[in-house]
Each structure stands twice: as C-alpha cells, then as structure tokens.
Structure 1
Amino acid sequence: MSKHLKAPTKKQRIFMSKKGLNWENWMVERDTPQEMVIIHRHADREETLPKITKCV
C-alpha cells in the first residue's frame, strides 16, 4: 500500500531542524498535535517525532 507523502511546510521544516534532522531528506506522512510521522526520501525509513504538549 502506498502512503500519501507530502513535502514539509515551513513550520514542519523548522520543527525537523530543531530535532536535528535535515528536512530536505524527509517527507511528511502524518502530522497530528501529538506527533509527526516522516519518511526518509531515499532510505524509506520511518521516524515518529513526538511533540511536547502543555498540560493545563
């Protein structure tokens, strides 16, 4: 099954850079308030980046 991948937006590129990743090598599969799931363009490797949410 093929996954629908998109190029990262500017906000997503900044988030990936802060996590120490080169955003040019990654495509976004899913972006939720809790996590971002990305796929490497060449190695077909999947990473899940957790997002920090504020507890109220």
Structure 2
Amino acid sequence: MLGTSRRSVRRLWLLRVLSRVLVRVLLRLLPRVLLLVWCVGPALLVRSVGGMAGSP
C-alpha cells in the first residue's frame, strides 16, 4: 500500500517536472515556430488551396 502511494507521488512529481521543462522549451521555441509559420504558412495555404482547386 505504501509502495504504491509513494510510486504514484514520485510519478506525479516527475510529471510536474517534465511539464515545467516542456513549458520552458515551448516558450523558448515559440518565437522560432511563429516565425516559421509566418514565413511558410501562407505558401502552404496557397499550395493546399491550389491543390484543392486543381483536383477534380
């Protein structure tokens, strides 16, 4: 009983730490991702719309 509760607590702690690290990484990468979307997004949109219009 004690082992399972301790294990679950450890798992929750690990999840919390991982989520913090993920948030930090996402915040660091967000500007690059936004820039990529800003540059590549319109081209992909035009290509997808063109492909849809070109397909029967």
Normalising by structure 1, we get a TM-score of 0.20
| Structure (1 or 2) with the larger CA radius of gyration | 2
Structure number with higher relative contact order (C-alpha < 8 Å, ≥ 6 residues apart): 1
